[in-house]
Amino acid sequence: MTDVDDDAWREIAAQWTFAPGVTYLNHGSFGPPPRMVLEAREAWLRRVAGNPMEYLTRGIEQDRYLGEARQSLAGLVGCSSDDLAFVENSTVGMNIVANSFSLRPGDRVLATDHEYGAVLRLWEVACAKAGAELVVRALPYPIESDEALVAQLFAECDERTKLLVVSHVTSPTAVVMPLEMICAEARRRGIAVRVDGPHAIAMRDVNLPSLDCDFYVASLHKWLCAPFGTGFLYVHPRRQAEIKPLVISWGRTPPGATKSWRDEFFWLGTRDPTGYLCVPAAIEFLANVGWERFRERTHLLAQYAKDLIVELTGLPPFVPDEVQWYGSMIALPLPEGDAPSLQRALVRRFGIEIPIIAWQGRRFVRPSCHLYTTRRHLEQLRDALRHLLAEKY
Ligand SMILES: Cc1ncc(COP(=O)(O)O)c(C=O)c1O
């Protein structure tokens, strides 16, 4: 066990400054960068403004600065930088996959009922266009074992099932999926896998080649704390030939380099590259803290949140209390009631920013814990919920 004591983390927590009166427990939706990353961004903005030709033309054409940033990211997720393209966020990455993956009439795309709403929506559109069908499969509730989860997910698959859409860490329910087992089962059945991974980067130790998925998309502005508007698309080499961009621009290969699927992604018209250029600074920040130390501290906080809220509501979590199933964020059941009005009351009356989630007829509170989170913040949440639930919110 590493230090669970809030005092030991005070200096690191001081890297973040929130608006007065705000208790921020929603890193899972939007993870603000620490001061060190904000300063790196300012420095890059000044360099780019000092000579746009170097950073927006020659540097891009020769894949210099962004190439170094991609190398740093590739080191974090264990793959070749040739298999990665920067995109603004998971949503864009996912749209690129949906625009590229060939579906025929009668084909099926399988998804779990824990997927992010916008992801289900974009696959509905892609399936409707192709005359294919999106099948949303309910997973066991409560979740008790990875074997039972995997068996239920694949129970009704057949030769029509061409693609599986699955989160690494789910959005409404914060479940860490048994992804290795899911990918292995999909491979055994000849089903391509597209992973939605924005919550997993930094929260988990991600090694893309060992997952052997076909596509993996992620946002880096969540747990990694890179600037907002930074994410990536990973495409396994066996799939790269079929990838099509959403935006057509010059599509140039850097001089001396061999032609690559990424040629279509490194110039999409004039844009601000400084967010991507700060990805190495975000990686360095958490590497300096220590990846396992970060994960352990934030998991212990999530576990503390669970203890407080379960004691308040009497409603047990729906995943086993093990780090295999949840990391730095946890979704805890609340008594029945309206989710948006409770979320609004938490902000308005207590200054607490946290999602209250309505999912499959249930209501959850989803605290996120990062390095600025303290046990006091979680106790404030418990006390505010106690007030509001007593008022029948
Ligand atoms: C699982 C999951 N997928 C996709 C997204 C969309 O991320 P972004 O808005 O960065 O594209 C989110 C956002 O919370 C998410 O939780």
Average pLDDT, integer, range 14-23: 98
Question: Does residue 51 sit in the same domain as residue 177?
Answer: yes
Q: Is residue 1 part of a domain?
A: no
Mean pLDDT check: name the lowest of 52-61, 102-111, 155-164.
52-61
Report CA 362 to chain centroid distance, whole Å: 22
Same domain for 301 and 160: no
Does 18 share its domain with 122? Answer: no
Average of pLDDT values for 56-77? Answer: 94
Q: Could you tell me if the CB of 167 is within 6 A of ligand 1?
A: yes
Number of domains in the chain: 2
Residue type, 190: G
Both tokens assigned to 114: 């824990």
For ligand 1, the distance from its centroid to the CA atom of residue 117, given in whole angstroms, is: 9
Q: What is the number of the ligand 1 atom nearest to the C-alpha of 29?
A: 14
pLDDT of residue 271: 94
pLDDT at residue 247 greater than cutoff 60: yes
62 pLDDT tier (thresholds 50, 70, 90):
confident
The H or E element spanning position 215 is strand 215-219
Looking from the CA of residue 197, the nearest atom of ligand 1 is 1
Q: Is 196 in the pocket of ligand 1 (CB under 6 A)?
A: yes
pLDDT of residue 379: 98
Mutate to test the pocket of ligand 1, among 116, 123, 166 (most ligand atoms within 8 A of CB): 116
Closest atom of ligand 1 relative to the 222 alpha carbon: 10
Express as a percent the part of the chain with pLDDT over 70.
99
Q: Are residues 17 and 83 in the same domain?
A: no
Residues 277 and 304 in one domain: no
CA geometry: angle 87, 92, 98, nearest 5 deg: 125
Mean pLDDT of 151-161: 97
The answer to whether residue 147 sits within a structural domain is yes
Asked if the model's pLDDT at residue 213 lies above 90, the reply is yes
Least confident of 5-9, 39-43, 200-204: 5-9
The pLDDT-based confidence of 224 (bands split at 50, 70, 90) is: very high
Give the domain CATH number at 95.
3.40.640.10
Q: How confident is the model at residue 3 (pLDDT cuts 50, 70, 90)?
A: low
Question: DSSP for 287-322?
Answer: HHH-HHHHHHHHHHHHHHHHHHHHHHH-PPPSS-SS
- How much is the pLDDT for 1? 41
In this structure, is residue 98 part of a structural domain? yes
Nearest CA, atom 5, ligand 1: 90
Question: Does residue 163 lie in a domain region?
Answer: yes
Instruction: Say whether both 145 and 269 belong to one domain.
Output: yes
Any atom of ligand 1 within 6 Å of the Cβ of 171: yes
Q: Which residue has the tokens 């899972």?
A: 28
> 302 and 263 share a domain?
no
Looking at the fold, whether 161 and 188 belong to one and the same domain comes out as yes
- Ligand 1 mean position, distance from CA 9 (Å): 28
Asked if pLDDT for residue 33 goes beyond 90, the answer is yes
Structure tokens at 347: 């902000």
- 334 lies in which domain range? 6-25+290-390
Cβ within 8 Å of residue 238, ≥6 positions away = 214
CB 108 within 8 A of CB 162: yes
How does pLDDT run across 253-303, given as a tens digit for each residue?
A: 888 888 999 999 988 999 999 999 999 999 999 999 999 999 999 999 999
The reply to whether 222 and 363 lie within a common domain is no
All residues at 6 or more sequence positions from 131 whose CB lies less than 8 Å from its CB, including other chains: 104, 105, 106
Phi-psi region of 242 (alpha: psi -120 to 50; beta: other; left: phi over 0): alpha
Residue 32 lies in a domain: no
Check: CB of residue 327 under 8 Å from CB of residue 302: yes
Domain membership flag for residue 35: no
Rounded to the nearest integer, the mean pLDDT of the chain is 97
Does the residue 365 lie in any domain?
yes
